[in-house]
C-alpha cells in the first residue's frame, strides 16, 4: 500500500472513530481492508511475500470464517487503529466492553454475505 493512502486512512480514522458509531465504522474499516486486499491481489496474485501484510490480506479475503480472518489480519487492524491513535474498544451504556476491531474483522469476513439474495 502506498504511504499516502495509508496516511489518508489514518487521518480518516482519527477523525471518525472518536465520535463514530461502531456499526458504521466497522464497515468503513472493512472496506479499506477489502480495497487493500484487491490491490495486493492485483499486484502479487498468489506470490505475495510470506508473512507480509499483502499475503495476510489475500488469504483473509479468500476466507469467510471470522475466526480465520481474525487470525490473518487481526494484527493489521490493531496496527491501523494504533497508528491512527484511536481506541479500538468501547464500553456500551450497560458497561459491557466491545471491539470496533472485532466488528471490522467480521464485516470483512462477511463482505459478500447477503442472506436476502
**51 or 20: whose pLDDT is higher?**
51
Given a cut of 90, is residue 64 above it in pLDDT?
A: no
**Residue range 22-33: average pLDDT?**
91
CA atoms within 13 A on the CB side of 78: 6
Which tens digits make up the pLDDT trace of 75-114?
999 999 999 999 888 888 898 888 999 999 999 999 988 7
**Residue range 51-58: average pLDDT?**
93
Given a cut of 90, is residue 39 above it in pLDDT?
A: yes
Write down the pLDDT at residue 2.
75
Write down the pLDDT at residue 115.
73
Which tens digits make up the pLDDT trace of 1-21?
677 889 999 999 999 988 878
Amino acid at each position: 500500500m502506498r504511504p499516502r493512502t495509508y496516511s489518508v486512512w489514518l487521518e480518516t480514522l482519527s477523525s471518525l472513530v472518536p465520535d463514530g458509531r461502531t456499526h458504521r465504522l466497522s464497515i468503513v474499516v472493512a472496506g479499506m481492508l477489502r480495497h487493500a486486499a484487491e490491490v495486493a491481489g492485483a499486484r502479487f496474485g498468489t506470490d505475495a511475500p510470506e508473512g507480509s501484510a499483502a499475503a495476510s490480506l489475500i488469504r483473509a479475503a479468500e476466507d469467510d470464517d471470522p475466526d480465520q480472518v481474525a487470525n490473518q489480519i487481526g494484527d493489521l487492524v490493531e496496527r491501523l487503529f494504533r497508528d491512527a491513535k484511536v481506541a479500538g474498544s468501547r464500553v456500551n451504556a450497560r458497561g459491557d466492553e466491545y471491539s470496533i476491531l472485532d466488528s471490522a474483522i467480521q464485516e470483512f469476513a462477511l463482505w459478500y454475505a447477503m442472506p436476502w439474495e
